[in-house]
């Protein structure tokens, strides 16, 4: 694949000592006090969430938009998950620390999960990077904190207990950043979170026992390609499970061409492996909430002996974080996603790559036939293994919140100036209190936006605008 990546140049802050970076971070508190991160009020110029979602829907597959909206209307939390574009614009109007990192961009508690490393070790990490872009480190924390408050409210927690989830997550982030600040860049880059060890450190004994059993059961059951394949020996094919796993004949050629281009442009060492497989079948799969309506499909690859491998191809659109002053340096949005994932994850998929649907890589005016669309490719992840965190969170939100905070700090430390962030955060109490206050206030805003969204659906306003 032709290397179109931007050149990496060292910034002055990269060459500072840890002590100098720490001092610079502490000085930034005078410009933007940590308590300023508690601030949220809806600006008079705020764009309607319904209008933002309507605009976003114009670049989606129309027949899938009702699925997206049905998932979003379930609760304020599911609305938050689908409305990353709304919160991104709101965060852009809040005070910024001035310390940027590679940001997840859609950092809520359901976008953390577990997967197996190449050695078969279950690791815990962020697992969604569709919106990744360089941004202030606190944006991810605020979105994660808001999701925890909303999840706590749905679980019946008191206002104080829900707010404490955001505070404890932030404290965990701060403590982890302080620990990482004492490490070398190479040590930080090699740091990973072993899920088995993380579960063993849970405070709640019942939650710990349940999580250990879930992990054991799902590692044993993580075989069989998720029940998607029907095979008569050497001719495997996909089984449809409508309405979420189904064939879209009018879109299939777009995906096949994109898969072919992916295979043809891989580095030699990966191409050697991929040449042993042939693309046999393609099926579309609805995933997540915010992604519904984008092109997302699974390719069934098979050897001459009928041995199979599944690769997911997913459309990459412009990040919701992108604005006039914050743009992606990559021509292909798939490359943006893949690069962000490789930066933030401790263990990334061997098959990560990007491609497009035709000779043009312009994403300015994509049409609904798939022409000009950009994609990233990865192995299909085991959704049951990935969902362990979310399943544990149902009963163990307190432990899960701290694990997510720890994980986010490790992800940010790979791209950010760890000592500067640590210097800005200090002991963490002031920052954590501010994040908790913001999260609670923005959760209230999300409730209001959700009600506005549901009313628009009842009046058929959103669907009419998106069609």
The pTM for the full model equals: 0.90
pLDDT band for 364, please (50, 70, 90 cuts). Answer: very low
pLDDT (mean) for 283-297: 87
pLDDT band for 111, please (50, 70, 90 cuts). Answer: very high
**How much is the pLDDT for 8?**
60
Q: Which residue has the higher pLDDT, 12 or 321?
A: 321
Element (H, E) at 159: helix 159-181
Q: Is it the case that residue 462 has pLDDT exceeding 70?
A: yes
Residues in Cβ contact with 463 at an 8 Å cutoff, skipping those fewer than 6 apart: 65, 66, 69, 457
Residue-wise pLDDT tens digits, 312-337: 999 999 999 997 668 899 999 999 99
Query: Could you give the CA distance from residue 248 to residue 269 in angstroms, rounded to a whole number?
Result: 33
Q: Is it the case that residue 29 has pLDDT exceeding 50?
A: yes
**How much is the pLDDT for 357?**
76
Q: At what angle do helices 388-413 and 418-425 cross, to 10 degrees?
A: 110
**How much is the pLDDT for 287?**
84
The average confidence (pLDDT) of the chain is 88
Least confident window among 56-65, 98-107, 336-345, 410-419: 56-65
Q: Does residue 169 contact residue 405 with C-beta atoms inside 8 Å? A: yes
Q: Is it the case that residue 419 has pLDDT exceeding 80?
A: yes
**How much is the pLDDT for 327?**
87
pLDDT band for 2, please (50, 70, 90 cuts). Answer: very low
Rounded to 5 degrees, φ, ψ at 160 are -65, -45
- Which of the given ranges, 128-132, 284-288, 347-351, has the highest pLDDT on average? 128-132
Q: Is it the case that residue 367 has pLDDT exceeding 70?
A: no
Residue-wise pLDDT tens digits, 143-177: 999 999 999 999 999 999 999 999 999 999 999 99
Least confident window among 110-124, 181-195, 211-225, 240-254: 211-225
**How much is the pLDDT for 467?**
37
pLDDT (mean) for 63-83: 94
Alpha helix (H) residue ranges in 32-158:
49-57, 65-72, 76-82, 84-91, 137-154
Q: Is it the case that residue 435 has pLDDT exceeding 60?
A: yes
Q: Is it the case that residue 192 has pLDDT exceeding 60?
A: yes
Q: Is it the case that residue 108 has pLDDT exceeding 50?
A: yes
Q: Is it the case that residue 362 has pLDDT exceeding 50?
A: no
Q: In a 10 Å sphere around its CB, with 0-12 CB exposed, 13-18 middle and 19+ buried, how is residue 415 labelled? A: middle
Q: How many CB atoms lie within 10 A of CB 197?
A: 11
Strand partners, 279: 301
136 closest CA partner among 21, 40, 32: 32
**How much is the pLDDT for 95?**
95
Q: Give the angle subtended at the CA of 120 by the CAs of 114 and 125, to the nearest 5°.
A: 25
Q: Is it the case that residue 106 has pLDDT exceeding 80?
A: yes
**How much is the pLDDT for 465?**
44
Of the chain, the percentage scoring pLDDT greater than 70 comes to 90
**How much is the pLDDT for 225?**
53
Residue-wise pLDDT tens digits, 219-243: 665 555 556 787 666 678 888 888 7
251 closest CA partner among 293, 290, 279, 211: 293
Q: Does residue 258 contact residue 313 with C-beta atoms inside 8 Å? A: yes
């Amino acid at each position: 694949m032709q290397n179109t990546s931007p050149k990496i140049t060292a910034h002055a802050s990269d060459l500072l000592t840890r002590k100098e970076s720490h001092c610079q971070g502490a000085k930034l508190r005078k410009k933007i006090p940590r308590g300023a991160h508690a601030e949220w009020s809806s600006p008079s110029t705020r764009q309607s969430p319904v209008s933002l979602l309507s605009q976003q829907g114009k670049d989606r597959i129309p027949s899938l938009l009702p699925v997206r909206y049905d998932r979003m209307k379930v609760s304020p939390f599911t609305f938050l998950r689908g409305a990353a574009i709304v919160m991104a614009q709101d965060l852009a109007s809040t005070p910024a620390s001035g310390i940027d990192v590679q940001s997840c961009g859609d950092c809520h508690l359901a976008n953390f999960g577990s997967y197996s490393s190449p050695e078969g070790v279950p690791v815990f990490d962020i697992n969604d990077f569709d919106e990744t872009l360089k941004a202030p480190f606190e944006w991810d924390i605020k979105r994660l904190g808001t999701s925890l408050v909303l999840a706590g409210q749905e679980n019946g927690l008191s206002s104080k207990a829900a707010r404490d989830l955001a505070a404890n997550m932030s404290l965990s982030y701060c403590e982890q950043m302080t620990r990482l600040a004492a490490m070398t860049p190479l040590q930080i880059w090699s740091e990973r979170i072993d899920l088995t060890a993380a579960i063993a450190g849970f405070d709640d004994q019942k939650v710990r026992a349940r999580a250990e059993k879930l992990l054991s059961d799902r590692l044993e059951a993580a075989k069989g390609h998720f029940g998607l394949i029907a095979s008569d020996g050497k001719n495997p094919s996909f089984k449809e499970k409508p309405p979420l796993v189904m064939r879209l004949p009018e879109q299939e050629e777009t995906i096949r061409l994109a898969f072919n281009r992916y295979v043809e442009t891989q580095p030699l060492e990966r191409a050697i492996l991929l040449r042993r497989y042939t693309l046999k079948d393609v099926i579309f799969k609805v995933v997540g909430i915010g992604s519904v309506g984008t092109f997302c499909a699974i390719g069934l690859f098979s050897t001459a002996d009928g041995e199979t491998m599944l690769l997911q191809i997913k459309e990459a659109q412009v990040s919701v974080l992108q604005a006039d002053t914050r743009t992606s340096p990559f021509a292909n949005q798939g490359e943006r996603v893949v690069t962000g994932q490789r930066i933030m994850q401790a263990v990334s998929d061997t098959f990560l790559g990007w491609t497009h649907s035709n000779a043009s890589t312009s994403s300015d005016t994509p049409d609904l036939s798939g022409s000009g669309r950009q994609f990233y490719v990865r192995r299909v992840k085991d959704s049951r293994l990935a969902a362990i965190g979310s399943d544990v969170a149902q009963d163990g939100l307190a432990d899960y919140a701290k694990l997510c905070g720890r994980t986010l700090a490790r992800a940010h430390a790979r791209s950010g100036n760890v000592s500067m962030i640590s210097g800005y955060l200090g002991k963490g109490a002031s920052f954590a209190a501010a994040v908790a206050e913001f999260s609670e206030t923005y959760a209230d805003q999300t409730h209001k936006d959700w009600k506005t969204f549901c009313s628009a659906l009842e009046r058929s306003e959103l669907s009419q605008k998106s069609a």
